[in-house]
Amino acid sequence: MEPRDELPPVPPPRENPDALTPPAGGFVSPVTAAELRQEKARARELRASAWWKRRLSRERCGYCGRSTSARELTMDHRVPLVRGGRSVRSNLVPACRACNSAKKYLLPVEWAAYLDRLADESDKIP
């Protein structure tokens, strides 16, 4: 370990706001095909549960908050399975198809940055 006074400086954050995709080989948890199958099976079980049906009955997207019919809501993992997320209640949210498609594999902090950037862009439109 290096002495404290010899630690390398922390690089500044990236200047490119469009760089929301993880770097090659980074931010992706090594998940085996067997683990992925197991988590998807757990998600199917939860989708059939009374708990999930109650979540859908609110008819609200967990990301944008828009009113959406329960039939049109999809199950989304806040932390995606391919990035180490699990199929547990605390990681699942009902999402409209538009939000689910846009979010893809983003982590919650990356998704928030994406929404902030969209809000900033909409403020600039005359």
Q: Give this prediction's pTM.
A: 0.72
Spell out the domains of the chain, with CATH numbers in brackets.
Answer: 31-124 (1.10.30.50)
Give which of 76, 52, 44 is closest to 62, Cα–Cα. 76
Which range among 3-12, 35-44, 98-107, 110-119 has the greatest average pLDDT?
35-44
Average pLDDT over residues 9-31: 52
Percent of the chain with pLDDT over 90: 48
Q: Encode burial over 51-77: b for 16+ CB neighbours within 10 A, e otherwise.
A: ebeebbeeebbbbeeeebeeeebbbbb
Distance CA 94, CA 66 (A): 11
Q: Is the pLDDT of residue 118 over 90?
A: no
Distance CA 66, CA 84 (A): 28
- Helix ranges (DSSP H) in 1-126: 33-47, 50-57, 97-103, 108-124
32, 81 contact by CB (below 8 A): no
Cα 71 to chain centroid distance, Å, stands at 21
Residue type, 26: G
pLDDT for 26 equals: 52
31, 84 contact by CB (below 8 A): yes
